[in-house]
Amino acid sequence: MSKQVVIVGGGVIGLLTAFNLAAEVDQVVVCDKGGLGGESSWAGGGIVSPLYPWRYSPAVTALAHWSQDFYPQLGDRLHAATGIDPQVHVTGLYWLDLNDEAEALAWARREGRPLSKVAVAEAYSAVPVLGPGFASAVYMAGVANVRNPRLLKSLKAALQKLPNVILKEHCPVTGFIREGERIAGVETVEGVIAADEVVLTAGAWSGDLLRPLGFELPVVPVKGQMILFKCAEDFLPSMVLAKGRYAIPRRDGHILVGSTLEHAGYDKTPTDEALDSLRASAIELVPALAGAELAGHWAGLRPGSPEGVPYIGRVPGCEGLWLNCGHYRNGLVLAPASCQLFSDLLAGREPIIDPAPYAPQGRLQAI
């Protein structure tokens, strides 16, 4: 396939899209307004599962299942290529005191996923630091978390090794080059970049970039704040989740706790109120965190979309323009499947899953 592709946005979706396309096209150029992976992809927790997978539509479930099964080999491939281990860390996940436990178990039976009810004593035995007072537990074996900053570093390093990939950091795209009904490239602060195909993977900023072309893309920034503790390496053996808040262990003993869900525009300022709330949730989940070193507190902007279903495919009426964006809370979860599906569509191959639920056609509004 003889093409030049420009990807607008260098988060995990943009970088993995570039990684997949590099073997298929002549050249890939990735443009990001800041540093690669510096926004939502860096800020997330990296659980390789939606927080409550049974509450999502089949469209999200299909992408999540494919990605969950693929992540270990992606991690191994990137580690082998770059020497940077993304640390796909399989710990399993305990949900505590679910109010829709029956729905969760019915979903697991229907989807064939390894989620089951366990005695709460089993959860306390497996996670001795778990806080008191929890009455019920559901466990999913095999759930991993990926250390997202390391995933981004390994993706960037892998792309830098490819001779037909150009990475342009701190190079905002300011507009699109339009020739009739065709998008023929992008305008950037460094000048025009011509392209046969342009892919919009700009996360929470995707809607703003698309609007001048006459489309309303319902992707909006949704702020999420996280905190990070430093503990011993074996302190927390499994991920735990209760009341919408979670604790994620990294291999080196760092524990992430998140997250808030705030509609505050593009403001990424960490707040004392969120810090206090997250710390309280952390201590309720794992009381020993009260005495742990607080190693970080930050905020990121999720690309909020209706029902969390991403937009993957051609933009109607704009030949040469594609979307791979709007993953909301699950960009890291869904990235492998989303980017493989996108590559299949661009190459005209049989797609890994039915692309219809993600197609922009019929989901965008003309302005």
Last residue of a domain, one of 255, 282, 304: 304
Same domain, 266 and 165: no
Instruction: Tell me if residue 258 falls in helix, strand or coil.
Output: strand
pLDDT tens-digit profile of 24-54? 999 999 999 999 999 999 999 999 999 999 9
Cα gap 319→108, rounded to integer Å: 40
Asked if residue 359 belongs to a domain, the reply is yes
**Per-position b or e across 312-325, b if 16+ CB within 10 A of its CB:** bbbbeebebbbbbb
Asked if residue 252 belongs to a domain, the reply is yes
Same domain, 98 and 22: no
pLDDT tens-digit profile of 291-336? 999 999 999 999 999 999 999 999 999 999 999 999 999 999 999 9
Same domain, 299 and 163: no
Same domain, 159 and 299: no
Query: Which pLDDT value is given to residue 2?
Result: 64
pLDDT tens-digit profile of 50-102? 999 999 999 999 999 999 999 999 999 999 999 999 999 999 999 999 999 99
CATH, residue 159: 3.50.50.60
Beta bridge partners of 153: none
pLDDT tens-digit profile of 125-143? 999 999 999 999 999 999 9
Asked if residue 164 belongs to a domain, the reply is yes
70 to 65, 110, 149, 161, 234: CA distances (angstroms) = 9, 21, 19, 22, 26
Q: Which burial class, exposed, middle or buried, applies to 355 when counting CB atoms under 10 A from its CB (0-12, 13-18, 19+)?
A: middle
Same domain, 233 and 279: yes
Same domain, 200 and 318: yes
Cα gap 83→314, rounded to integer Å: 35
Last residue of a domain, one of 304, 328, 355: 304
Q: Give me the torsion for CA of 143, 147, 150, 152, rounded to 10°.
A: 70
Task: Flag whether pLDDT at 153 surpasses 90.
Answer: yes
CATH, residue 242: 3.30.9.10
Asked if residue 61 belongs to a domain, the reply is no
Same domain, 252 and 232: yes
Same domain, 224 and 300: yes
Residue 226: domain span: 93-141+220-304
Cα gap 17→7, rounded to integer Å: 8
Nearest to 202 by CA among 323, 362, 79, 112: 323
24 to 120, 196, 266, 282: CA distances (angstroms) = 50, 13, 35, 45
Helices (H), the chain: 12-21, 40-43, 58-82, 101-111, 120-126, 148-160, 206-210, 272-285, 331-347
Asked if residue 73 belongs to a domain, the reply is no
Taking every pair of Cα atoms in the chain, the longest distance, rounded to a whole number of angstroms, is: 66
Asked if residue 58 belongs to a domain, the reply is no
Asked if residue 242 belongs to a domain, the reply is yes
Q: Is the dihedral of CA 338, 38, 173, 156 positive or negative?
A: negative
Domain count, the chain: 2
Segment 273-283 mean pLDDT: 97
Same domain, 245 and 192: no
Enter the pTM of the model.
0.95
Asked if residue 69 belongs to a domain, the reply is no
Instruction: Tell me if residue 246 falls in helix, strand or coil.
Output: strand
